Amino acid sequence: MSISDRMKRTSNCVAINIDNKESFEGDLYNCFQEEPIRFCDVHDFFIIVNSLLDTIEYPAQKVKYRAFKKTLPTLKLIDVRSDEKLFDTDVILDKCKTDAYVIMVTSRDNATWQGKLYKQSEDKEFSFNSEVELIRLLK
């Protein structure tokens, strides 16, 4: 079994290499940038991926951020254009090390992620229904 065709052609996939599973740091690859983005911990990882998903506007958030202060409604830390996809997900996987993961967020319901995880070392695909499940699968 290899990466699914759906994961190959969608732009809401990211590939990651985790260098240190204790501190959860590594590199994140996406379809819109040549160079990887470095994340230092779990919080950093979620902010980067949420920012990418907000920028490409897919999948749409079902719950908006709310605050008493005036704040930006979305996190747009990554500057990419959703119409300028550079390559498909299988090309991103080639850039990664042998122990890479591909994460496809299919929906963001109830302020959490749902989707699929492909683990390259085991050549298996897993489903997750929350960020906590995703982290458990990654560790």
Domain ranges of the chain: 5-138
Q: Give the per-residue pLDDT at 61.
A: 81
More confident residue, 55 or 62: 55
Residue 73 clears pLDDT 60, i.e. is over it: no
Query: Do residues 8 and 82 lie in contact, with contact meaning Cβ atoms separated by under 8 Å?
Result: no
pLDDT at 88 over 90: no
Q: Do 13 and 103 meet the contact criterion of CB atoms below 8 Å apart?
A: yes
Looking at residue 77, its pLDDT comes to 67
CA torsion, points 99, 29, 22, 113, in degrees to nearest 10?
Answer: -110
pTM, full prediction: 0.86
In this model, does residue 91 exceed pLDDT 90? no
pLDDT value, residue 7: 85
Q: What average pLDDT does the structure give for the chain? A: 85
Q: Is the model's pLDDT at 71 over the cut of 70? A: no
